Amino acid sequence: MIPTLSRRQIWFMPVALLLLSTMGLLFALLGDAWWDVMSWGTLGYAVFVILWYVLKSP
Amino acid sequence: MATRNVQHMTPRAIKGWYLVHKWTSLVCTIFLLLLCVTGLPLIFYHEIDHLIGNAIEPPELPGVTARADLDAIVETAKARRPNEVVQLLVNDEDDPVWWVRFGETAAAEEVSTLSMFDARTGAFLHDYPVNQGVMPILWRLHVDMFAGLPGSLFLGAMGLVFLAAIISGVVLYAPFMRKLPFGSIRWERSPRTRWLDLHNLLGIVTVMWALVVGVTGSINTLANPIFQQWQATELAEMIAANQGLSSDPVQGSVAQAIQAAQSVDPDWELFFLAFPGNPFAGSHHYTAFMRGETPLTSKLLKPVLIDAQTGQVADSRDLPWYVTALLLSQPLHFGDYGGLPLKIIWAFLDIITIIVLGSGLYLWKKKSAASIEDRVSSAMEQEDVFGLSASSRESIL
């Protein structure tokens, strides 16, 4: 039987992604050039994570 | 201790949140699907306009830095459209181009003609094909479903219901994931289980984007009431305080008016000039709406009221907080503030949201269609996922 996960285990990735997305949404608003690039990286990471887990099929 | 925290949610609480998630989702899903599907091409409105030739680039003129006489441009524009009235003169953000917006009257809500002029030579370049093709239809569907302000406000309310659906979905994430590591998709299980896992993964990863685009979208539905409030209070006060300067509604030099507005704060450049008679100006005044030069202040506006006859600055005030909130909500909803890569990410997140909405609908339909045996066996398989009694477990699954 699979052990029950702790709250930390359940929420680590969702909270990390939430913070990264927030930064990504703000970066491009606060600056240009490198700020835009950082925005693409942080907000795009959410898309990457989804593709990673969905394409990692058995 | 961590385990105790997870179990902290009672079966009763889980069931309550589940009902909130189910009903808020059922109310808003069909409208959110409409918004996401019509919104997808709207992300690329600018690019599509250039692709199909609705918008054109000004010619390359290497070394030419001179600026054409603005009053001559306005005269040319007026001569081309003698039966229409100039409402706005807009300074293009990207290209050396002036746009002249006409209406049937100065105050008409609908634009009748949008003409593009070369800012260096003053030459007429192009009339933008207003209200042609499929994009304006998608835009209207997205903004108000062709139902005017009530339609817009209704979609704004759906955005708030969507907010409740997202929050209740986040609350339900933990009880569903108590035995599944992040990103688990049980491909070997039934389609319903597979789609449940996908719904949970896609939903939790995009939650911040969906919240921001949802809330800013709801704020954008208030755009017209917000501007009307500003016109009826702040702008009306600015005009009333300066009525004495001009009694004759003669329109003086546009170039002089813009120069005067520019002198108020050299760090702010003209975005657009509203002509006398337009709701954004006075009957005897131009209003120059200035935008800042930093990435953040370029999204904001500062209005400068100018006496139309003398070309002198009459008043300048910062916009109130509620207009600023609207102006900041716009880029955060459109995704047009970080180049094409940001728009592409926006499109991906929009498509993912469509999948979350569609899978949510599927999970709900599948549940009601599933036989009682399926639901019991599925509940048994998930063994104590909720720490619930068999009966309450079944009612949730």
- B56/B125 Cα distance (integer angstroms): 8
Q: Last residue of some domain: B72, B103, B131?
A: B131
CB-based contacts of B97, cutoff 8 Å, min separation 6 = B58, B116, B117, B118, B119, B125
Nearest to A10 among B177, B212, B352 (CB): B177
pLDDT of B248? 61
Flag whether B120 is in a domain.
yes
Flag whether B49 is in a domain.
no
**Residue numbers of the domain that contains B101:** 55-131
Pairing of strands B124-128, B313-316: unpaired
pLDDT tens per residue across span B126-181: 999 999 999 999 999 999 999 999 999 999 999 999 999 999 999 999 999 999 99
Q: What percent of chain A has pLDDT over 90?
A: 83
Flag whether A43 is in a domain.
yes
Q: Which residues of A touch B198 (CB under 8 A)?
A: 54
Around Cβ B345, how many Cβ atoms within 10 Å?
Answer: 25
> Within this chain, do residues B127 and B150 fall inside the same structural domain, yes or no?
no
Q: Which residues of A touch B342 (CB under 8 A)?
A: 28, 36, 39-40, 43
* Cβ separation B201–A54 shorter than 8 A: yes
pLDDT of B389? 45
Flag whether A1 is in a domain.
no
> Within this chain, do residues B127 and B142 fall inside the same structural domain, yes or no?
no
Q: Does B383 touch chain A (CB under 8 A)?
A: yes
CB-based contacts of B102, cutoff 8 Å, min separation 6 = B77, B81, B84, B85, B86, B87, B111, B112, B113, B114, B115
> Within this chain, do residues B213 and B144 fall inside the same structural domain, yes or no?
yes
Q: Sheet holding B97-103: strands in order across?
A: B124-128, B113-118, B97-103, B85-91, B269-274, B285-291, B302-307, B313-316
Q: Does A30 touch chain B (CB under 8 A)?
A: yes
> Within this chain, do residues B21 and B150 fall inside the same structural domain, yes or no?
yes
- Nearest CA to B190 out of B389, B46, B364, B378 is that of B378
- B369/B233 Cα distance (integer angstroms): 56
Q: Residue A31 gets which letter from DSSP?
A: -
Flag whether B319 is in a domain.
no
Flag whether B227 is in a domain.
no
Nearest residue on chain A to B328, alpha-carbon basis: A29
Predicted confidence (pLDDT) at residue B218 exceeds the cutoff of 80: yes
> Within this chain, do residues B21 and B143 fall inside the same structural domain, yes or no?
yes
pLDDT of B251? 77
- A21/B202 Cα distance (integer angstroms): 14
* Cβ separation A6–B3 shorter than 8 A: yes
Flag whether A15 is in a domain.
yes
pLDDT tens per residue across span B227-240: 999 999 999 999 98
Mean pLDDT of B378-392: 47
Nearest to B342 among A12, A28, A56 (CB): A28
Instruction: Show which of residues 100-129 on chain B sit within 8 Å of chain A, judged by CB atoms.
Output: none
pLDDT confidence band for B25 (50 / 70 / 90)? very high
> Within this chain, do residues B143 and B124 fall inside the same structural domain, yes or no?
no
> Within this chain, do residues B144 and B205 fall inside the same structural domain, yes or no?
yes
> Within this chain, do residues B77 and B197 fall inside the same structural domain, yes or no?
no
Mean pLDDT of A8-29: 96
**Residue numbers of the domain that contains A37:** 8-55
Flag whether A2 is in a domain.
no
Predicted confidence (pLDDT) at residue B396 exceeds the cutoff of 90: no
Q: Does A7 touch chain B (CB under 8 A)?
A: yes
Quick one: CA dihedral B360, B365, B366, B368, positive or negative? Answer: positive
With residue B391 as reference, give the H or E element that holds it: helix B390-396
Q: What's the total number of domains in chain B?
A: 2
Q: Does B296 touch chain A (CB under 8 A)?
A: yes
Nearest to A4 among B178, B208, B299 (CB): B178
Does A32 or B209 have the greater pLDDT score?
B209
pLDDT of B7? 54
Q: Which residues of A touch B183 (CB under 8 A)?
A: 13, 49, 52-53, 56
ipTM: 0.96
- Give first-to-last CA distance, chain B, whole Å: 27
pLDDT of B45? 96
pLDDT of B192? 92
Min Cα distance A42 → chain B (Å) is 10
pLDDT tens per residue across span B84-136: 999 999 999 989 999 999 999 999 999 999 999 999 999 999 999 999 999 99
Flag whether B365 is in a domain.
yes
Min Cα distance A34 → chain B (Å) is 10
Q: Which residues of B touch A44 (CB under 8 A)?
A: 341, 345
pLDDT of B383? 45
Nearest residue on chain B to A36, alpha-carbon basis: B338
pLDDT of B64? 85
* Cβ separation B207–A52 shorter than 8 A: no
Predicted confidence (pLDDT) at residue B287 exceeds the cutoff of 90: yes
Nearest residue on chain B to A2, alpha-carbon basis: B179
The DSSP result for B56-99, as a single string, is -PPPP-TT------HHHHHHHHHHH-TTSEEEEEEE-SSSSEEE
Q: Does residue B204 contact residue A21 with C-beta atoms inside 8 Å?
A: no
Average pLDDT value for chain B: 90
Min Cα distance B241 → chain A (Å) is 36
Q: Does B23 touch chain A (CB under 8 A)?
A: no
Q: Does B136 touch chain A (CB under 8 A)?
A: no
Around Cβ A56, how many Cβ atoms within 10 Å?
Answer: 10
Mean pLDDT of B368-390: 49
Flag whether B303 is in a domain.
no
* Cβ separation B209–A43 shorter than 8 A: yes
pLDDT of A3? 82
> Within this chain, do residues B9 and B64 fall inside the same structural domain, yes or no?
no
Nearest to A46 among B3, B180, B205 (CB): B205
Q: Does residue B87 contact residue B108 with C-beta atoms inside 8 Å?
A: yes
Flag whether A3 is in a domain.
no
Q: Last residue of some domain: B108, B131, B154?
A: B131
Mean pLDDT of B267-291: 95
Flag whether B270 is in a domain.
no
With residue B126 as reference, give the H or E element that holds it: strand B124-128
Does B383 or B83 have the greater pLDDT score?
B83
Nearest residue on chain B to A19, alpha-carbon basis: B208
Nearest to A29 among B174, B198, B331 (CB): B331
> Within this chain, do residues B92 and B214 fall inside the same structural domain, yes or no?
no
Decide: residue B287, CB within 10 A, 0-12 exposed, 13-18 middle, 19+ buried: buried
Residue of B188, B197, B205, B299 best to disrupt the A interface, most CBs of A under 10 A:
B205
Q: Does A55 touch chain B (CB under 8 A)?
A: no
Q: Which amino acid is at B316?
A: S
pLDDT confidence band for B4 (50 / 70 / 90)? very low
The CA distances from residue B309 to B27, B103, B244, B283, B326, in Å, are 54, 22, 12, 11, 32
Nearest residue on chain B to A57, alpha-carbon basis: B187
> Within this chain, do residues B192 and B150 fall inside the same structural domain, yes or no?
yes
> Within this chain, do residues B19 and B142 fall inside the same structural domain, yes or no?
yes
Flag whether B277 is in a domain.
no
Q: Last residue of some domain: B113, B131, B149?
A: B131
Q: Does residue B100 contact residue B109 with C-beta atoms inside 8 Å?
A: no
pLDDT confidence band for B243 (50 / 70 / 90)? confident
Q: What's the total number of domains in chain A?
A: 1
